Structure 1
Amino acid sequence: MPGRWTLDKSRISEAAAVVFHIPNFREIGDAYKYPGQYWVAWSMESRQNYRRLADPEIMKHFDITMTYESRSDVWAPYLPRIRWWEETFARPIPLKTEIAPVAHFQSARLNYSGRVDFAAELSRHIKIDSYGRHLNNRSILGPDLGSKTKVGTIARHRFCLALENSIETDYVTEKIFDAFRAGTVPIYLGAPNVSEFVPTNSYIDANAFRDAKDLVSYLQHLIETPQAYEAYFAWRARPLPDGLVKRLQHLETPTFCRLASLVRQRMEDRADPPAGKPTLPFGRISFLRTRFRRWQKKVPS
């Protein structure tokens, strides 16, 4: 059974499955659900950031979940693919040329993890170059080319703060992987199971220390003991852990291909043909509010 994806919303009645980006929930209030159609809840954001993901009254309307959580029907994590790891292994460790041992990039103020207070307290005990909009004290060198510039900037520092905006199981974002790519040591605050996503002894766990002073004492030890610091890069010369390899192999099939296979399987397993009329899962009021909001956007001010 061939299939294809489309962004043409006018064809929603023909779709076997419709993918909704939950962080843009306001845009789906007027959606009709057609008989036999599968609705997919897609999000890369944590539940703390978008509470709708944990709201049973909203989520009951979706048949399939596609999120960073490994328990999702279709797993869609930030975990880089196998080729990325191979390229990272081949990259040399850059010289650490900055005076400040620690680099920090943060622009959003989201702080469910306590990262703002953590970074502020740490900065009282060790020099941190903060390049983001939040807690900014340093500008990047040259033009900002996005991720490439960020990685190149981090690479000049011995350590990089990799602080998630919330602490959730499986919520391991690009922050720690950017540090690996840069060839620096991440100081990680976030998912309690981060060890399932990264090589052994590849990062410093911020929660393993009593307080900021204790952590800074350890960082100073690494700075003064090159052999101890370099041990954090030993993983680059070893095979990745079996558990991580298994996850990477699963992710080699693109996310939307895995979703298409799941939808196809569910359609084949369905005993009875779909029947009934289209429904408005979020109700008439939500329908009217969404349509009115769209109308307002089109009306010139």
Structure 2
Amino acid sequence: MIIKSFVKSFGFYKISILLLVICAVWIGQRYVRPYFNLQFSTYNYQYPAPGEDFIVGIEPHTDVIPEFVLNIIKLAFYDRSVVVDHLRAPHLLIRDKNARRGELLKCQRWNAPYITFSGESSTMDRKNYRRNAPPIVEFVSSTPQKIRELYFPFVVWDYKPFVRHKEGNKQRKFLAYIHSNCVPQREKLFAILKERNVEAEGLGKCSRTNDETVIPSRSVGWRSLDEVYANYNFGMAMENKQHPGYITEKIMCVFRGGAIPIYWGDSATVKKYFNDKAFIDVGAFKTLEDAADYIIAISQNETEIKRMQNESIFKDGKEPELFKVSRDPNHPLLKEAARFLRSAYFKAIVNDSAPPMSRDIDFE
């Protein structure tokens, strides 16, 4: 009754307009505001003088940034001493895509250009942009969609060469499924395989069948799964979605343990870097049932299992250049990204004291 009397007295048309205005304000606050502010505000301060520190801030402060990102920043601002400091006003901010919105809303104290990074298939949501402007550069783990995006898939962030695990249980079991995000594709394929081979074991939070095997916490690091996969012939390495360019550490975890990865994700990208004779690509089959049939057939062929386990993990037996960025701070791909970042940075600020000729970098 109250609502009806309110509508009758105020008028349906006026209420509709009011609701539209409220929605527009809400959308503007969450999505449009950074772009609006970009047109009417600037980063008005001096580039640090020679000998002064170039201050980098991290949002939130508790985050750990990927080493390759920090190396890119050091290369980009090679003419200054790059220092991570949360107490002094920063010249550049780094914002984590996965940080909670509540934490990010507290990080509006400084007005400085910022970059973001994401290890997921998606980039930072616009509602999590800083209020002053969108980021000048975004480090992404999937195929770039915007000019300001630079591609470094999550699988390379902390990659180090390794020798595949050859020991473990000599009589390896069939298959290990270690996932905490119960994506339908993963769950359905595991259910099919479990139905056809009782030795398929769920060791994570999803479809758990084995309470005896203790899986190390994610905080310990994904390399801690080596000893687990070393006791199985196959390991499910299925991404949470099929997204162009998106490859995580999952396939590498299985390879490290000496098992054969059962992969699902972006088939084109994974085959660009990895040897397709060393893993099983679920995406190459018309149905999950067809993929399961093939996996079961391989599992019954000891010669084929050994062949696949002894294959080089990388395409053409060579480590791709992209996989070297985490351990070579002067890698050409990092230098290329540094040039891009430096250019974007000086386009974003005004009244900087850096001579125009030094806005580009000559690493030679």
* TM-score, normalising length: structure 2: 0.60
Q: By how many angstroms is 1:5 displaced?
A: 3.9
Check if 1:2 corresponds to 2:80: yes
Separation in structure 2 between the aligned mates of residue 163 and residue 219 of structure 1, nearest angstrom: 14
Q: By how many angstroms is 1:177 displaced?
A: 0.2
1:170 alignment partner AA: G
Asked if the contact 1:180/1:186 (under 8 Å) is kept, the reply is: yes
Q: By how many angstroms is 1:212 displaced?
A: 3.8
What residue in structure 2 maps to residue 125 of structure 1?
196
Asked if the contact 2:119/2:140 (under 8 Å) is kept, the reply is: yes
1:233 alignment partner AA: Q
What residue in structure 2 maps to residue 161 of structure 1?
236
Asked if the contact 2:260/2:280 (under 8 Å) is kept, the reply is: yes
Asked if the contact 2:136/2:344 (under 8 Å) is kept, the reply is: no
User: Unpaired segments of 5 or more residues in structure 2?
Assistant: 1-78, 353-364
Asked if the contact 1:161/1:186 (under 8 Å) is kept, the reply is: yes
Asked if the contact 2:142/2:243 (under 8 Å) is kept, the reply is: no
Asked if the contact 1:140/1:153 (under 8 Å) is kept, the reply is: no
2:308 alignment partner AA: Y
Check if 1:134 corresponds to 2:222: no
Q: By how many angstroms is 1:142 displaced?
A: 6.2
Check if 1:191 corresponds to 2:266: yes
Check if 1:97 corresponds to 2:171: yes
In terms of mean alpha carbon deviation, does 76-85 or 191-200 score higher?
Answer: 76-85
Matches within 5 A, 1:186-225: 186-192=261-267, 193-225=269-301
Q: By how many angstroms is 1:221 displaced?
A: 2.4
Check if 1:115 corresponds to 2:190: no
Separation in structure 2 between the aligned mates of residue 195 and residue 84 of structure 1, nearest angstrom: 20
Q: By how many angstroms is 1:272 displaced?
A: 4.6
Separation in structure 2 between the aligned mates of residue 234 and residue 73 of structure 1, nearest angstrom: 37
Q: Which has the larger radius of gyration?
A: 2
User: Unpaired segments of 5 or more residues in structure 1?
Assistant: 275-301
Q: By how many angstroms is 1:240 displaced?
A: 5.1
What residue in structure 2 maps to residue 61 of structure 1?
134
What residue in structure 2 maps to residue 227 of structure 1?
303
Asked if the contact 1:125/1:212 (under 8 Å) is kept, the reply is: no
* TM-score, normalising length: structure 1: 0.71
Matches within 5 A, 1:160-179: 160-179=235-254
Distance 1:212 1:240, change over 3 A: closer
Separation in structure 1 between the aligned mates of residue 326 and residue 339 of structure 2, nearest angstrom: 14
2:240 alignment partner AA: N
1:206 alignment partner AA: V
Separation in structure 1 between the aligned mates of residue 241 and residue 158 of structure 2, nearest angstrom: 26
Q: Spell out, residue by residue over 1:120-166, the C-alpha distance to the aligned partner (whole angstroms, 9 max, x if none).
A: 33322223111112211103546847545522111111111111112
Q: Spell out, residue by residue over 1:104-128, the C-alpha distance to the aligned partner (whole angstroms, 9 max, x if none).
A: 101234x2x6322332333222231
What SS class does the counterpart of residue 99 from structure 2 fall into? helix
Separation in structure 1 between the aligned mates of residue 239 and residue 156 of structure 2, nearest angstrom: 17
**Aligned-CA RMSD value:** 3.6
What residue in structure 2 maps to residue 296 of structure 1?
none
Q: By how many angstroms is 1:184 displaced?
A: 0.6
Matches within 5 A, 1:256-275: 262-267=340-345, 272-273=350-351
Separation in structure 2 between the aligned mates of residue 243 and residue 32 of structure 1, nearest angstrom: 47
Distance 1:83 1:58, change over 3 A: closer
Asked if the contact 2:175/2:201 (under 8 Å) is kept, the reply is: yes
Percent identical: 16
Q: By how many angstroms is 1:273 displaced?
A: 1.8
1:38 alignment partner AA: P
Asked if the contact 1:69/1:169 (under 8 Å) is kept, the reply is: yes
